[in-house]
Amino acid sequence: MTPMVGVLDQLTVARRSALGTKLTRYALGSVVSFGVSEITLVALFAPHVLGARGSSLVASVAGLIPGYFLNRNWAWGRRGRSHLGREVIPYWLTVVITALVAAVSIGAVNGVVADLSRPARTAINALTYLAVYGVFFVLKFLLFDWLFRAPAARAATSE
């Protein structure tokens, strides 16, 4: 067996584990959520509907709706009513913090490249948005894993 086959076998086993399945579903849900956000950002900024920061904020809100349900229901398998204090409010806080960081970052980058064409600025803003959400990807996974985990499992890890 070649070393590459061994690595691929290990990755397959890891992906099929509970954590691997959760991470894969979280990543796929994040792709959907980010796609909605990125399309919204470009659709609002490119034709001058909103400025850089406004487009970023609206894009973040557009992506949070599918993101919440995909993360909670699909990645973590939570069903029933959401718990306001344990799930909804912390999720919204992560969205607000990430949205603000993205808006400030895009505003700053857009100011630096203000002399470029609108299409060039749109592409740079879209890449900046991707970079900010990429940084928060891992942090949000860790938080969501704790938030959406069953209460008994969450209590066991807190002790």
| pLDDT for the residue 35 | 95
For residue 71, being part of any structural domain is answered with: yes
For residue 3, being part of any structural domain is answered with: no
Contact 118, 48 (CB under 8 A): yes
pTM for the model: 0.76
For residue 116, being part of any structural domain is answered with: yes
Q: What one-character-per-residue DSSP string does 10-27 give?
A: HHHHHHHSHHHHHHHHHH
Give the number of residues written for the chain.
159
Q: What are phi and psi of 90, to 5 degrees?
A: -60, -35
Q: What DSSP designation does 46 have?
A: T
Contact 39, 2 (CB under 8 A): no
| pLDDT for the residue 2 | 63
Question: What is the full per-residue pLDDT of the chain (159 aa) written as tens digits?
Answer: 566 656 555 555 555 688 888 889 889 999 999 999 999 999 999 999 999 999 999 999 999 889 888 878 877 777 888 878 877 888 888 889 999 999 999 999 999 999 999 999 999 999 999 999 999 988 888 887 887 775 555 455 555
- Give CA–CA dist 128/122, Å, rounded: 10
Show contacts of 128-131: CB within 8 Å, 24+ apart.
Answer: 128/102, 129/37, 129/38, 129/41, 129/56, 129/59, 129/102, 130/34, 130/38, 131/105
- Give CA–CA dist 95/103, Å, rounded: 12
For residue 115, being part of any structural domain is answered with: yes
Contact 30, 145 (CB under 8 A): no
For residue 154, being part of any structural domain is answered with: yes
The parent domain of residue 38 ranges over 21-158
Give the count of domains, the chain. Answer: 1
| pLDDT for the residue 139 | 87
For residue 119, being part of any structural domain is answered with: yes
For residue 6, being part of any structural domain is answered with: no
For residue 140, being part of any structural domain is answered with: yes
